[in-house]
Structure formats: structure tokens, C-alpha cells
Amino acid sequence: MKKFFNKYIILICLCCIPGLISAQGGKTMLRGVVVAALDQMGLPAANVLLMNKDERVVSYATTDLDGNFSLLAEPKAGDKLVVSYTGYKKQTVLVKGNTTFKIEMQDDSVVLEEAVVTAQRTVNNGMLSINERDLTTSATRISIADIADNMVGAGVDDALQGRIAGVDIVAGTGAPGAGMSIRIRGTTSINGSSQPLIVVDGFPYETEISSDFDFATADEEQYSQMLNISPDDIKEITVLKDAAATAIWGSRAANGVLQITTKRGTISKPRVSYTMKGTWSKRPEGIPTLSGDQYSTMIQEAMLNSGTLYNPSSYPEFAYDVNQPYYFYNYGQNTAWFREVTQNGMIQDHNISISGGGSKAQYRASVGYFDQKGTTIGTDYTRISSRLNIDYNVSEKIKFQANMSYTHGENNRNYISYLQSKDVGDMAYTRMPNMSIYEYNQLGILTGNYFSPLNSPQGSWSSTSSSGGIYNPVAMANEGLYILTSDRITSNLSLVYRPLEWVRYQFDVSLDILNDKTKAFLPQTATGRPWNEISVNRSDDVDQEAFVMQTFNKLILTPNLGKDHSFQGLLGITTYDKSSGSYKATTGNNASPYLQDPSNPSRVTGQTILGVFSGSSQNRLVSFFGNAQYGLLDRYIIAANLRADGSSRFGASYRWGTFPSLSARWRFSGEPFMRSLSSFLDEFSFRASYGVNGAQPKSDFGHISTYNIYNYTYLGESGVYPGNLELIDLRWEKTIQSNFGINFAAFKNRVNIDFELYKKRTNDLFFYGLTIPSSTGFTKVDMNVGIMDNLGWELSVNTTPIRSKNWTVNLNFNIARNQNYIREISEQYPMEKGVSTANGQYIRRFEIDQSLGSFYGYMYDGVYLNKEQTAARDKSGNIIYTYNNKNEKIPVQMRFGYPSIDYEFQPGDARYKDINNDGNIDYLDIVYLGNATPLFTGGFGPTVKYKNFNLSMFFNFRYGNDIANSAKMNLEKMYNFDNQSMAVLKRWRHPYTEEDSPGDLLPRALYGKGYNYLGSDRFIEDGSFLRFKSLTLKYNFNRKQLDKTLLQECSLWLTMNNLYVWTNYTGLDPEVSVGSSDPFGTGYDNARTPRSKDFTFGVTVTF
């Protein structure tokens, strides 16, 4: 059979040979040379296209260094060669049976001028394309080609970090599928979103399904819809910063605009490109914690210091009694919990695309597959993406464009992340290290079942608490379920009609369908709760879906007013309609941990968290806008914009908002008296702008009194009650921004310097969920509460110090400074949070003319080394005395919270500065400790090109911000049964003198008593850092090396990300999230999954 099959294959091949010979014989080799008409010099890298009579590309070639080209084809009647070269007019030559050609290219000053402008970056604000040299607003464009090799994650936001002045991008966690917090020129909202508007190919891109899209308690950066955009499909990103730039997008752009342009097809033969990246992520080290033996010693010591005599019968978990094998084995281990829940991560990223087309139609289609295994067990992210972009020219006057994409993503997370902004690493740090992962029976035999006791000295899992409780982190990581599945389809269609050369009408329509499905399951094996308890085998199923329809009608005018004048005008109407719905089912007591769907027989009543819930919402927006830009003598440019938005989220009195802007540019270098400097000075311009943006509230029906249904009935009927106050007077949150800028370019654009100075004021700040007296019948309300300012400056320097035939060296640097101030706040607003007499809490305040994110607390002064040091002292340092009931003179002892608490400090306790020297540590000793807002942010890095080799490095930094190291506080408190860090091995155990005390001595272990971890500067640390963000070495094969292959292009590269961090911060990672719905919650480090060190190998080939 095998021999017959081989003979059959050979016979087929022999039959094909004549056809192949015939086909080859019909082709003709066309040769020629492309030269400049002026000097007859050959033009290298000119594009030569062989096109048929239907304007389709049949074949193509690129000229060599001498301008020669050759291509093998089968010419037919009507075929022609089309040759293009930058700075020259396009030439078309009919083939007409010729096989050799000499094509002379005519110099064209107009084309040359356009080429220069392109090199200086044409900026598109989503509505109009404006040459950057004529830009009157603050906008920055970055090409993805410049950072493509450094992109490792699922989204492009990580690669942008530190590259654009004034754009602060921070990752709160390194977990797969987690987005990043993006701030353009600071925080503009108290407890709402400060994320910018995302625009993709001219269409606003939804980043949330509904106003309460945060599944369970997720912060805004925990799930990023930008993950639905494959980085390989992106061509460039433009950031619009000031109000004059963003005003054209109206009320949705108050926080700035991040505009993404995807890749499109060009006139060429079909080009197939494939890119593969493979990444290995190093397992995080974590914070070193105590072993089981060290931990047990500390616990017994803490009990002794608190006056509690350790009783083995009461706490057999620390007895190590071989006569009790169950406790001896289950509580006699040295488990490194953090290591047990972490692993090395892996990423594979594959993208394949095909593009091409003729003068009639161009296309680009792509498919991508991304798969990331996280460094925490049980976490991963998988995405399948596809995109199709088509341009079709019906005639010189009519053109169609279509952009379609589909993305499917699956994100696995730890179940605990469904309840709160934490992962299993948090429990792994504090879990008793003497506990076993798996249970031993009464005979000391390992059973293989997870050891999750009903109760332990640390406590138990609470079925009624929203944050859970104590659990087995390994069981939670392996058995708990939290899957977020997302599907998204977008379809954007555009019709362009140009009745006149200077008049263009464009109609755009966008359809966007989003669906997210969340499945969560809490197994009994992780919590150890009784099988009849509601929290056992709890199952959640959440569906959220949205349909968004947007339309744009734009009339664009570009009349030719003569050599000395330029004008662009835009009039438009846009509509936005979003309908969303959510459905949720939560049940408990599923029969088995393998039956994880709420549809299985289970309990749906018994607690308020159980049951079936649903909701729907709709939001509409209508906008009218106009934009005009006029230029005179290529030196004086002025632009104006006016937009009116009508939103369904407001009552009739404030439904419409008007947002104007005005900007101008003076090209100082274009003045006649500056011509003497034109030999080296390319650009020197001044810009100024003023504009207003607005923001809508996040609730769709806040201006309508809605009703809720009671959970119970009366006489068989369900009652209803008002669910909210009718907010008919809620106003637009308006941001007024003024901007001054300088653009400088010299030495043939080898030195480019941009400087921006701005002031951004937000009036009528929204505050969501403001607490009000329950006597009103409600507990909270949304209000306009105050005024906030953001002041700052930005500096960008891009240089090319070396440029030669073989060498090119670029060095880029940017730095930004933003200052945030509260100028005015409503008297109903909560001005302070935190309890000064409680351990582990800082006082967070809103102070007029102070920044958000300030910390207030006590000044830590070390440890009371001995009894003498516990005496109170006056300003001069002298001991303060009093008399006892025996009339004896005795020292006054330092106290805390006298007279209500009246704790007397003892040797070994934490020592705090008595600011007013009254012998009592209380609220009068609270001082300002720091602020979470950085003074400076930015990045820099060189790129070196030598022949076919590219070497690029990039560093990003933050300077001047403070971090509340909550992880350190929890791991050094020695207050309860939580495990602690290795640092506590240097705790106080006996009296010291000043001379023999160690410098890094920590307070004593004190179980359930004392005030050794009050909110103080002990845990406030400098969060400044310089991160070695990326190092990339790349090799590009040249055409000569690829001549004997099927490849047109080929590149190989190696990238290393997050190589090293220079910082004085003692935590895992100084990059702490700034995104939080709690205005008092910024700047805390809870030691979530840190950023990993990534090592990536990549290859790109084009056929």
C-alpha cells in the first residue's frame, strides 16, 4: 500500500511538470533603472509596481543602491509600471511589450514639502489631520514601530510607560489581564474615574460595560478593555493633553484622549507577515517571612509579653507534642506559603497578517493569539483577536472604509480577587507557617486532602463578610474559580464624499457589542466551613452586555486661499446610544465542588448575597461641534472649537453643556529677521490655548426617582420604596485648562525640544455616594462638591547626536511635574478618614490648598530600650516628676490616649515623638508625613543602530512620592497570630542601653495589646525609583541575505523587561497604583503580585 501511494505521488508530480514549464516559459523578465532627471543618478529603494488595467498590483520590486530593478511577470495588454520615490513625482510607464526601461523621476517641490511634514509627524485629533508644525494644541504622537520590540504584555499601555511627558502610567499588580492606571496631567476627580478617553480609528472606544462595571470590588485599572486591542494591529498612538485638543471630543474627554490608529493596507502585492514572541517570566521572590519554628517561638513570646501564660492545652497548635500526632504533623511544618502559590510565568504571542491592494482597494487582515501564564498559581490570560481594515475607492469623489474586529478573551484569577482587590499572595504572607498544606490524619498519615480547619488561632472564613476571612491559599489558588470571559465585536463604517476638491462630507457609523461573563466558585476545600453553611460551594454567575451605536456626520472644508493663507473647517453632529444589561445569580451549598454552576440544585435564599439579580440601563448623548484653523504667512495660526453636548444623565435644567476652546501658534523662526539662523534652526514656535471640557456623572438615571422592590411581601404583594434622591440639579463637572507651549527644532531636526506649561481647574467636582443623614430616608447621594487644580509643566527632548551611513544614535528624555490642590470643598464632604487611636491606620485629610493623597500620623522614634526611657520629658529633655499617694517623687510615665485609653508605655514598646511634650501621645502629636503624588515622572533611553543591529534601552522613573507600606506594617506588627517578616527576628527581647542597642531594633512582640504599629512615619517610605524598563537587541536581515529565500523581511530580537530597580523603598515594588475609587485610599502598598522580570525572544518574517 505504501509503495503504491509513493508511486501515485510521483505520477502526479510528473504530470505537473509540463504545466510548470509552460507557466514559467510564459513569464518575462522586466529590467530597468530609476534615475533622477536632474543629475541622472540612480535612486535606491524606489518602489516599482506592475499594475494591470484594473489598477491591481501584479508584481512589484524595489531598486538597489544604483537604482536598478528587475521583476519576473507575464505582461498583458494595458499593464503599466508605476514608480514612486520620496521627493519626486510619481511616474507611470506603459509596458507595451518592452522589457527594458529607463525611468526618469522629476523633482517635485510640493511632494518634497509633504515628505518633510510627514517626517515631522502629522497629528490626527480624530476629526482632522493637522501637520505637527501647524499644531496649536498640546498633542504627542508615538509610533508603535519605535516600541514594538519592547511590548511584552497583552496591552500596549505597559510599553507606553514613561515615554510621554505628562502621562503617568502605573501598574498596581503584575497579574495577567490586569490593566494599568493612566493619568494625563494628574487626577481630575475625587472618587470617579480619571482614566482618559480611548479613541480607535476615529471612534470612541468603550472601556466599560456599565457605570458599575467593576466586578465585585475591582478598582478601575483591574480590568482593562484595552486588552481587546492587539498591540500588533496598532500603527501609532496620539495623546491629546490640553483642553483645546480634547474639546473636539466634548464631555467624554475631560481626562485627556489616548488616540489609537490601527494599521491599514497599502498599494502592493499581498504581503504576509508573521510575528512570534516567547517570554519567560521569573518567579517573584516575595517578602522573606518566618519559618514555622521561628513563628511558634515569636507567638509564645508575644503571649508572655502581654501577660498571657502559654497553655499547651489551649493552643496545641504550638505545643509540638508527639503524643498528639494530628497537631504535631498538621502544625509542625515549615511551610513557605508564598513560594507554594507562585511559579515561573510564560507568555506566547503569535500574530499573522496579510495586506496589500491596488489603487481601487486596499486591505489588511490579521489574526492574533496571546497566552499568558501568571506568576501566581491559578492566574492566566488568553486572547484570540482578529481585525479587518478595508479601504475602497469607488471613484475620485466617493470612498468607503470599513474596520471590523472580534476579540475573545479568558482571564483566570484567584477567587479572593472576586471579593476584594487582593490575591492569594496576601494570605500566603500571613498564613501560619507551621501549618501543613495537606492534612495528616490522627495517625500522622498524609491524606492528600487540603488542610483547611474550621477554626485556627488566626480565625476562620466568614460567610457574611464581604472580604472573606482565613483560608488555605494553595487550595484557593488551585480549587477556587474566578473566570472572566469577554467577547467583543466592533464594526465601523465610513462613507467619504468629495463633491469638490476642497469640500468633503464624511458619514461614520460604529456598532460595538460587548459581553462579559464572570463565573466564580468558592470550594469548601479552601475554607473548611461546615457543609451545611451557605458559603460552602458558593457559586456566582454574572453576565454583562452592552450595545453601543455611534454616528458622525462631518463636513470638512479645506479651501485654497492662496500661498499666504491656509484654512481648515469642520462642522459636525454626532450621536451616542448605549444600552447595557446585567444578570447575576448567586447560590450556596452546591452538592459538590465539581458542580460549579448556579443552575445546579442549590440554595438561593438565606443571606442577602444569595439570589437572582438583574438590571438594565441606557445612556444617550447628542453633540454639535465646529472647528476651524486659519494660518497666515505660515507663521500665524489660530484655531477655535465649539462643542455642545446634550446628555440623558442630567435633568432638564442642566442637560446641555457648552465647551469652547481657542488656541494659537506663532512661528517665531519664520519671521524675516530670523532668516539668518535658518541654516541650523528648523523650528521655533510659541503656542497658547484655553479650553473647557465637561464630564458626565456615571449614573444613567440619577435625575429620575427610581424605585426598588422589597425582599419580602405583605399579603402576597411586593412593596416598593424610593431607591434614590431625584438629582435634578446635578451639574456638569467642568475642567478649564490653559496651556502655554514652546517647540524648538534645530540641526535638520536632530534636536527637538518641546516644553509645556499648564493649569487645569476642575469645577463642580463629582462625589459619588456622599453619606447623608438617614433621617432623609436615604443613606447616600451624588453631589457636586468642590474645586480642584492641577498645575504643572512638561519637557521632552529628542536628539540624534550621531547619524551616518552605518551609525545612528538617538537619545530621548522626558520629565513632567504635576501639582494637585484642593481649592474648595463642600461642607457635607467627609474631610477626614481614619482613627488616630487605632493601630494600623493613618489619618487622611482634605486640606484646602493641599494635595490629594496626603498622610498624617505620628513620628516614630524607635523603641523604649529600658524602663528609664519610658519616663515623660519636657522640652529640655528633663524627666517630668509627680508624687504618688505616699508623697514620693516618681517619674511621670509616657502614656497613650490619656485619659480615655490611658495605656502606659513599657520597655520594648514603640516610641513616638511627644510633639507638645505633655507626656501623652494623642491626636495633638499627629503631623504631616508625606504625599502619594510624585513630584516628577518621566523616562529616557538611547537607541543605537549599527548596520543591521539595533540596541535600545529605556528607563522610567518617579520621584518625590511617598508610600504607606501596609505590607510592612502587617508583617512587623507582632500583634496577633499572623506570620511576620524576617525583620522581626531583630525585635526587642530584653532591656538595652543606648550604647549596646542595635540600630534596626524593632518593638517587642505583644499579643493583642499595645500600640506598636500606629500609623507613623515608620511605615511611610520614599517611593522614588528608577527602573531599567527594557533592553532590546535586534538584528534585521538585509535584502541580499534574503535573496535566496521566500522572505522579503526578517528580524530577530531579544528583549529583557524590568531588569532592575534603583530605589530606597523596602517593599516589593515601589510602583504602587494611583487608581482607587476611595479618595483616601491612594498610595498604599499591600504587596500584590509584583512586576516580574521578563525575557522575550521574538521573530518577525514577511513573505
The C-alpha cell of 925 is what? Answer: 502629636
**pLDDT (average), residues 502-521:** 92
The reported pTM is 0.84
CA distance 140 to 185: 13
User: What φ, ψ does residue 295 adopt, rounded to 5°?
Assistant: -65, -45
- pLDDT digits over 135-152, tens only? 888 888 888 877 776 667
Of the candidates 519, 667, 508, the one whose C-alpha atom is nearest the C-alpha of residue 600 is: 519
- pLDDT digits over 757-814, tens only? 999 999 888 888 778 877 778 888 888 888 889 999 999 999 999 988 889 999 999 9
Of the candidates 601, 606, 675, 587, the one whose C-alpha atom is nearest the C-alpha of residue 635 is: 675
DSSP 824-845: EE-TTS--EES-TTSBT--BEE
Instruction: Give the contacts of 857 (CB within 8 A, at least 6 positions apart).
Output: 842, 843, 926, 927, 929, 1014, 1015, 1016, 1017, 1020
pLDDT of residue 1082 exceeding 90, the answer is no
- pLDDT digits over 1019-1034, tens only? 999 999 999 999 999 9
pLDDT at 855: 92
Which residue type occupies 988?
A: W
- pLDDT digits over 403-450, tens only? 999 999 999 998 888 887 788 888 999 999 999 999 999 988 999 899
What residue has cell string 486591542? 229
- Give the single-character DSSP code of 869: G
- pLDDT digits over 836-868, tens only? 899 999 998 888 888 888 899 999 999 999 999
pLDDT of residue 109 exceeding 60, the answer is no
CA distance 318 to 321: 8
pLDDT at 438: 95
Q: What is the mean pLDDT of the chain?
A: 85
Whether residue 264 contacts residue 233, with contact meaning beta carbons closer than 8 Å, is answered with no
**pLDDT (average), residues 338-355:** 93
Which residue type occupies 1092?
A: S
pLDDT of residue 236 exceeding 90, the answer is no
CA distance 206 to 187: 20
The C-alpha cell of 968 is what? Answer: 510592612
What residue has cell string 475554607? 527
Task: Tell me if residue 918 falls in helix, strand or coil.
Answer: coil
- pLDDT digits over 794-804, tens only? 999 999 999 88
Q: Assign residue 469 a region: left if phi > 0, alpha if psi is -120 to 50, beta otherwise?
A: left
Task: Tell me if residue 325 falls in helix, strand or coil.
Answer: helix
**544-558, 610-624, 633-647, 735-749: range with lowest mean pLDDT:** 610-624
pLDDT at 5: 41
Work out the percent of the chain whose per-residue pLDDT is above 90: 43
pLDDT at 53: 78
Of the candidates 450, 441, 472, the one whose C-alpha atom is nearest the C-alpha of residue 326 is: 441
**Pairing mode, strands 100-105 and 181-184:** unpaired
Name the band, by pLDDT with cuts 50, 70 and 90, for residue 64: confident
pLDDT at 984: 95
pLDDT of residue 100 exceeding 70, the answer is yes
CA distance 452 to 459: 11
CA distance 367 to 349: 11
pLDDT at 161: 84
Name the band, by pLDDT with cuts 50, 70 and 90, for residue 472: very high
What HEC string does 624-688 produce? EEEEEEEEECCCEEEEEEEEEEEECCCCHHHCEEEEEEEEEEEEHHHCHHHHHHCCCEEEEEEEE
Between the alpha carbon of residue 1034 and those of residues 149, 543, 931, 1049, the distances in Å are: 8, 44, 41, 13
pLDDT at 607: 67
pLDDT at 115: 31
Greater model confidence, 479 or 24: 479
- pLDDT digits over 894-906, tens only? 999 999 999 999 9
- Give the single-character DSSP code of 434: T
Task: Tell me if residue 272 falls in helix, strand or coil.
Answer: strand
pLDDT of residue 20 exceeding 70, the answer is no
pLDDT at 16: 43
Whether residue 613 contacts residue 598, with contact meaning beta carbons closer than 8 Å, is answered with no
Task: Tell me if residue 10 falls in helix, strand or coil.
Answer: helix
Q: What is the separation, in whole angstroms, between the first and last Cα of the chain?
A: 38
pLDDT at 226: 62
- Give the single-character DSSP code of 308: P
- pLDDT digits over 26-60, tens only? 678 888 899 888 777 888 878 888 888 777 777 87
Between the alpha carbon of residue 130 and those of residues 125, 494, 566, 588, the distances in Å are: 8, 20, 11, 59
Strand partners, 173: none
Q: What is the dihedral of CA 49, 50, 52, 58, to 10 degrees?
A: -90
20-110 carries CATH number 2.60.40.1120: yes
The C-alpha cell of 986 is what? Answer: 531583630
Between the alpha carbon of residue 670 and those of residues 635, 675, 678, the distances in Å are: 6, 7, 9
pLDDT at 234: 87
The C-alpha cell of 374 is what? Answer: 501568571
Residue 10: Cβ within 10 Å count: 10
CA distance 395 to 568: 23
CA distance 193 to 1074: 11
Greater model confidence, 66 or 840: 840
- pLDDT digits over 285-297, tens only? 889 999 999 999 9
Report which listed range, 184-193, 584-593, 727-736, is most confident.
727-736
CA distance 274 to 383: 17
Task: Tell me if residue 22 falls in helix, strand or coil.
Answer: helix
CA distance 161 to 745: 25
The C-alpha cell of 192 is what? Answer: 470617579
User: What φ, ψ does residue 50 adopt, rounded to 5°?
Assistant: -100, 115
Whether residue 378 contacts residue 424, with contact meaning beta carbons closer than 8 Å, is answered with yes
Of the candidates 337, 540, 544, 618, the one whose C-alpha atom is nearest the C-alpha of residue 458 is: 337
The C-alpha cell of 950 is what? Answer: 539595533
Instruction: Cite the beta strand spans of 874-1008 per DSSP E.
Output: 881-883, 889-891, 895-896, 903-904, 910-912, 920-921, 927-931, 936-946, 949-959, 962-964
Whether residue 1085 contacts residue 267, with contact meaning beta carbons closer than 8 Å, is answered with no
pLDDT at 194: 77
pLDDT of residue 939 exceeding 80, the answer is yes
Work out the percent of the chain whose per-residue pLDDT is above 70: 92
Whether residue 595 contacts residue 189, with contact meaning beta carbons closer than 8 Å, is answered with no
